[in-house]
Amino acid sequence: MTAKATNKTEEVKAKNEIKECFIITPIGGSDSEIFRKTEGLISSVLKPVLEKFNFIPMPAHHINEAGSINKQIIQRIINSELVIANLTNINPNVMYELAIRHAFGKKVITMAEHGTKLPFDIVDQRTIFYDDSMIGVEIVKPKLEIAINSILNDTEIDLKISNPIFDAINQFATIQNLPADQQDGFVMLMNRLDKIENFMGEKSNRREGVFLKTNNYVAGDTYQVKVNFQSEHKNRFFSLLSSEKWRRNDNVFQISPITTIKRGEDSEMSFTIRTSQKDLLHSFTNEIANNGFANSIEVFPVN
C-alpha cells in the first residue's frame, strides 16, 4: 500500500472513530427518581444527539474499567474533548466536577431541567434548559446539536473561554506578573471592573436570572406587569399564576384579569398587581424568572 493510500485510510478511521463525551451528572440510587431521570436524559437526548458527532455518552456509573474510579472520573473531566454537565438540582458532586473542568479552562456544555435555580456565579453561563417530558425531548435535541457543533467546530473558542474560576486564575496570574508596587492598584481596578460587569449583567435581559426592567417598588401601589415567554410554556405559566400562593383573596396581593398576545414563537402576557407589601411583588417576579421559561419581565408603576 502506498503512503498516500495509508494516509487516506488513517483519515477515514479518524473520521469514524467513536469518542467518549463525559457526562457530569447526579446519579442517585438505582431505584431513585434521580437515577431514572438521569438515565432518561442520557438515553433519550444525549445518546442520539452525540451519535451524530461520533461520540457516546459516558457518565461515571457507566465506566467499567479497573482501578480508582475517582482518578478515572477526574482524568475524563480534564482530558475529554467534550463534556456535558447536568446541573439539575445543583448536586454538590456535579458542582465540584464542573469546577475542575472550569479550572482547566476546558469547553463544557451545561444543561438543567426547568425550575433549576443556578448559583449566582454561573447564572451568566449559557445553559440549555429542558422539560422532562416527551415533547421536551424533541425541543431540546436541536438546541444541544447547535451547542455541540459550536464547540467542535469553533477554532477560536479557546480564546473565548470564560468562567468564574478560569477568569480568577487568569487575573491572579496577571497580577503576579506585575511589579510589586503596581499589584495593589491593579487588584482594585479588576475589582471595580467586576462590579461594573455584574451591574451591567443585572440590567440586561437574560433567560436565566432576574429579568426586571424596573424594581422601584412602592408599598400600596398598583403595577402593570408584562411577561414575554415561550408559547410552549403557556400552561406552566398559567399554573404558576393560579397557585394558591398568589391567588389570594385578601388586600395584600391581588392579580387582575390577564390578557395574552401571541408574537410568533413567543407570547406576551399582561396583568396588573396591587400589593401592600413590596417584598411579595419582588418574590413573585423572582419566582417567574427562576422557573426558566421567561424571556423578559417588565414591571411599571400605574399612576
Which range in 2-16, 37-51, 91-105 is most confidently predicted, on average pLDDT? Answer: 37-51
**Does the pLDDT value for residue 256 go beyond 80?**
no
Average pLDDT on 262-290 reads 74
- Alpha-carbon distance of 83 to 76, in angstroms, equals 9
Q: pLDDT band at residue 29, thresholds of 50, 70 and 90?
A: confident
Residue 3 pLDDT: 52
- 19-159 topology per CATH: Rossmann fold (3.40.50)
**Cell 395574552 found at:** 260
Residue 108 pLDDT: 92
- Alpha-carbon distance of 254 to 105, in angstroms, equals 48
Task: Please give the grid coordinates belonging to residue 136.
Answer: 421536551
Residue 266 pLDDT: 74
Asked which of 18-22, 215-219, 232-236, 276-280 is least confident by mean pLDDT, the reply is 215-219
> Which pairs from 55-59 meet CB under 8 Å and 24+ separation?
55/18, 55/19, 55/20, 55/21, 55/82, 56/18, 56/19, 56/20, 56/21, 57/21, 57/23, 57/84, 58/20, 58/21, 58/22, 58/23, 59/22, 59/23, 59/24, 59/25, 59/27
- Alpha-carbon distance of 141 to 174, in angstroms, equals 40
Residue 204 pLDDT: 40
Q: pLDDT band at residue 165, thresholds of 50, 70 and 90?
A: low
Superfamily of domain 222-302: ACT domain (3.30.70.260)
CA distances from 250 to 115, 133, 254, 278 (A): 28, 36, 7, 15
Average pLDDT on 52-67 reads 91
**Does the pLDDT value for residue 22 go beyond 90?**
yes
- By the 8 A CB rule, do 233 and 196 touch? no
CA distances from 51 to 74, 218, 224, 262 (A): 23, 54, 48, 36
pTM listed for this prediction: 0.54
Task: Return the domain boundaries, the chain.
Answer: 19-159, 222-302
Is 222-302 in the same CATH topology as 19-159? Answer: no
Task: State the chain's mean pLDDT as an integer.
Answer: 75
Q: pLDDT band at residue 9, thresholds of 50, 70 and 90?
A: very low
Which range in 112-121, 175-184, 263-272, 286-295 is most confidently predicted, on average pLDDT? Answer: 112-121
Asked which of 59-68, 94-103, 249-258, 263-272 is least confident by mean pLDDT, the reply is 249-258
- Alpha-carbon distance of 259 to 256, in angstroms, equals 10
Residue 205 pLDDT: 36
Which range in 85-99, 218-232, 285-299 is most confidently predicted, on average pLDDT? Answer: 85-99
